[in-house]
Amino acid sequence: MPSVLCPFPVTYDETAARRADEDIVAWALSLDLFPGQRSELNGYRFGTFAALTHPDAVDHDHLMLVARNMTALFAADDHYCDEGIEGVRLAMSASRLAGSLTAMESGARLPDCPSVEGFVGSDPVAHALRETAEHITRLGTPAQIGRLRHETTATFLAMAAENSWRIAGHVPDPAEYLAHRKYNGAMACLVLIDVAGGYELPARDWEEPGVRSLSLAASLMIMLVNDLYSVAKESADIGSHSLPTVLSARHGWPLEQSMRATGELHDRLMCAYLRLEPDVARHASPELTRYLAGLRHWMRGNLEWHTLTGRHNHRAGRPTPKTGPHGPTHDHPKAEVRHSAAGLCPHCGDRHTPTTAVA
């Protein structure tokens, strides 16, 4: 497991994290989420994940919105996409992901299709999404509700695309994989940074190109950390994808070499992020200043959670990853942003031609 560059401090309330852990497990069990993983659910520490990534949450209610949203997204992956965990029928995953989006509509119910509400109530993931939508309706503005709905839709589209690769037996090119990966989960969580903090990032800031670039870069780095910590499981599942397994398939590399390359890409992205951030922050509004701090909290908190959660550690088939002498993170930018010459793979520097492709 390579150490990755993340020069931000860990800040969170351990008492708040423990309370959130207890409450989110109770909530998940009440909705019959993760029935095949109940003995392990306490160790996943989804409440701690929320506390680590949102140390400025207004109160327990705001923190639980974050934890519920995270849990619903993990449940969508396990119930709809991850074969072997919750009895997934992969061929139906895109249909189930799309169908569950109706649960994100939390407005007045019209009597045009009563059976839709029956579906939401009978499907655990849809039920979790509905309760999350109702929760943000209490705490957020209409614009914030719309952003969550939009980013969740994008996440489910990226999840459906990955499942199409598995069904087709397709191993994506690294560039194709990364084009999808930044939308596959984290953006639907980053969208709650301002809601949890009790403020609203103005639309002009949320959509500003520089801010969007930082949000997407943070999202991709968050997902690359997930790739590194989940690779022990993903590499054993036929058809599953992570950047290390994609690089190994593309170049014929040993998995350890591909993990190093993934860590190096993360660090190049972080260097680029740290160069762009001051330009975006120079004339930032107070709300944008808080949001940029929230992105930092999310990147560091995500890395911390991956080192301790039972979802990736101390579990059969998922041995605790071993890190180098610096541990899971380092705070000294050693890697320069590399601009690859034409014809070079930007993820590893190798010549990219059809004849060199392994898959």
Read off the pLDDT of each residue in 39-56 and give the average, rounded to a whole number: 97
Percent of the chain with pLDDT over 70: 81
CA 205 from centre of chain? 22
pLDDT at 203 over 80: yes
Task: Write out the DSSP string of 105-129.
Answer: --SPPPTT-HHHHHHHHHSHHHHHH
Q: What's this model's pTM, rounded to 2 decimal places? A: 0.89
Query: pLDDT tens-digit profile of 9-32?
Result: 999 999 999 999 999 999 999 999
* CA nearest neighbour of 237 among 229, 226, 245: 245
Query: pLDDT tens-digit profile of 211-270?
Result: 999 999 999 999 999 999 988 655 445 456 899 999 999 999 999 999 999 999 999 999
How far apart, in whole angstroms, are the C-alpha atoms of residue 301 and residue 320? 18
How far apart, in whole angstroms, are the C-alpha atoms of residue 209 and residue 343? 28
Considering Cα of 311, then 53, then 304, then 23, what sign does the dihedral take? negative
The per-residue pLDDT for 211 is: 99
The per-residue pLDDT for 199 is: 99
pLDDT at 120 over 60: yes
How far apart, in whole angstroms, are the C-alpha atoms of residue 116 and residue 105? 11
How far apart, in whole angstroms, are the C-alpha atoms of residue 172 and residue 179? 10
The per-residue pLDDT for 320 is: 52
Give me 334's structure tokens: 């050693």
Classified as helix, coil or strand, 348 is coil
Query: pLDDT tens-digit profile of 51-69?
Result: 999 999 999 999 999 999 9
How far apart, in whole angstroms, are the C-alpha atoms of residue 79 and residue 88? 6
Give the start-end residues of each E strand in 234-352.
329-330
The per-residue pLDDT for 98 is: 93
Read off the pLDDT of each residue in 72-100 and give the average, rounded to a whole number: 84
Q: Which residues, 6+ apart, have CB-to-CB distance to 324 below 8 Å?
A: 1, 2, 3
Percent of the chain with pLDDT over 90: 70
Query: pLDDT tens-digit profile of 79-90?
Result: 998 765 656 678
How far apart, in whole angstroms, are the C-alpha atoms of residue 259 and residue 265? 10
CATH class of 4-356: mainly alpha
Read off the pLDDT of each residue in 161-186 and give the average, rounded to a whole number: 94
Task: State the pairing for strand pair 329-330/4-5.
Answer: parallel
Query: pLDDT tens-digit profile of 179-189?
Result: 999 999 999 99
Query: pLDDT tens-digit profile of 309-353?
Result: 988 876 554 545 555 555 566 666 654 444 433 333 445 544 443
CB atoms within 10 A of CB 216: 15
